[in-house]
Structure 1
Amino acid sequence: MQKAIFVTEVGKPVSLGTRPIPAPGPEEVLIKVSSTMLFPHDTYGRDMGLFIGKKLPFISGGDIAGVVLKVDDNVNKYTVGQHIYGQGRMLDPTPDSAGLQEYAILRPDFSALVPLGFTVDQLVTLPINATTSFSALFHQNWFGFTPPFPSVEQNSRSNYAEETIVIIGAGSNVRKLAI
């Protein structure tokens, strides 16, 4: 068993409890959590039930970092003992892939090694901030710039020298990544 912090009732304080340590399934890695990032929607979930109202008890913390403890046989990307960080199941959150517990599951395709010179606390902010920045710049419903790499549909790149954008408040992580 492991300790975890649960949202058990919308609008009430979180509580400490226990739950089983998850076992990695196909294409998954078990980590000992060393850092997690809480998002604004984690607070809205606890306070108003946003995204989690029907999934109680719920464990928050979508971006996770930690040390690899177990690797599924089909995973060649990591070995036991490596420090990795990544994004839990943001679109289909499960308790196994949340960060406010001692052990969590990450998928290799949504994670990476912690590079030298960085801390897990720095990198645990990267997945959601990089995704948000990329989406804001290149998603067709937002700025809609052509992504800086060829896609199946488009084989040319934008001439960014002809594009203009002003980024206000460049001190935030999302805006730093946009620059």
Structure 2
Amino acid sequence: MTNMQKALFIKEIGKPLTLDTRPISSPKEGEVLIKVNATQVLPHDTASRDRGLFVQGHLPAIPGHNIAGIVQELGQNVTEYSIGQHIYGQGEAVAVIPDSSGLQEYATLPINMSAPVPEGFTDDQMATLPINATTTFCALFLQNWLGFPAPFSTEAKTFDYGKEKLVIVGGGTNCGKLAVQLAKIAGIGTIVSIASLSGEQNLRAMGATHVVDRHSDD
């Protein structure tokens, strides 16, 4: 493996990304180096390029922090993974040095922000999971949002999820599907998903009790 790689950089705020090269990073203790197979580009990445969100003051930067790929090298004391293992995870969006960014050929990932790719799932699917799952979990279970107790919390022991009703607008989106599944895990009694009826069977299998056609005028 060469010690240089291609990457897409934000070099100037408000300008297109620039293709250039940079050294391949070595993983630190508690990290692994992966060959990047897929990266999810999110709205905050666009805001980084256009307005400098997270990256103002430490350019050049590399977008993309939800990553899936193959382990190439293990950092010191890493025993959780092996070379050649298929993993996914979330890099650091506010890092000064973009070693864990995804729009490059190789990236480092902290082991505490990564997990093995389950059998039967694609890189594209797993690269959508870290931030979408975090966002959905926060929306459902943080006190200042919808405020359902998290299923593993002390409050959950006395909370009657079965009496609760949840309406999910955009139930066919990635976050919408995750919301259905997390609500099902929590035991919420009525889960209404507003989505295209073409996905009704899939949404009901995930846990939706009702699917409302998003094209309906009612």
TM-score higher than 0.5: yes
Counterpart of 1:163? Answer: 164
Structure 2 unpaired stretches of 5+:
181-218
Q: Cα–Cα, structure 1 residues 176 and 155, in superposed 2: closer, same or farther, change >3 Å?
A: closer
CA distance in 2, matches of 1:93, 1:99: 14
TM-score, reference length from structure 1: 0.94
Shift in Å at residue 139 of structure 1?
0.8
Is the CA contact (8 Å cut-off) linking 2:73 and 2:83 kept in structure 1? yes
Counterpart of 1:111? Answer: 114
Question: CA deviation digits over 1:93-126, x for unaligned, max 9?
Answer: 6410000001100011111111111101111000
One-letter amino acid matched to 1:174:
C
Using CA pairs under 8 Å that are at least 6 residues apart, name the structure with larger relative contact order, 1 or 2.
1
CA distance in 1, matches of 2:158, 2:41: 35
Counterpart of 2:185? Answer: none
Secondary structure of 1:166's aligned partner: strand
Q: Cα–Cα, structure 1 residues 63 and 93, in superposed 2: closer, same or farther, change >3 Å?
A: farther
Secondary structure of 2:28's aligned partner: coil
Secondary structure of 1:26's aligned partner: coil
Point out the structure with the larger strand share.
2
Task: State whether structure 2 residue 78 is matched by structure 1 residue 75.
Answer: yes
Q: Cα–Cα, structure 1 residues 93 and 167, in superposed 2: closer, same or farther, change >3 Å?
A: farther
**Pick aligned residue for 1:132 from 123, 135, 143:** 135
Secondary structure of 2:88's aligned partner: strand
Is the CA contact (8 Å cut-off) linking 1:30 and 1:71 kept in structure 2? yes
Counterpart of 1:101? Answer: 104
Is the CA contact (8 Å cut-off) linking 1:6 and 1:16 kept in structure 2? yes
Structure 1 unpaired stretches of 5+:
none
Is the CA contact (8 Å cut-off) linking 1:150 and 1:157 kept in structure 2? no
CA distance in 2, matches of 1:177, 1:86: 17
TM-score, reference length from structure 2: 0.78
**Identity value in percent:** 55
Query: How many residues of Structure 1 are paired with residues of Structure 2 in the alignment?
Result: 177
Secondary structure of 1:95's aligned partner: coil
Point out the structure with the larger helix share.
2
CA distance in 2, matches of 1:170, 1:87: 24
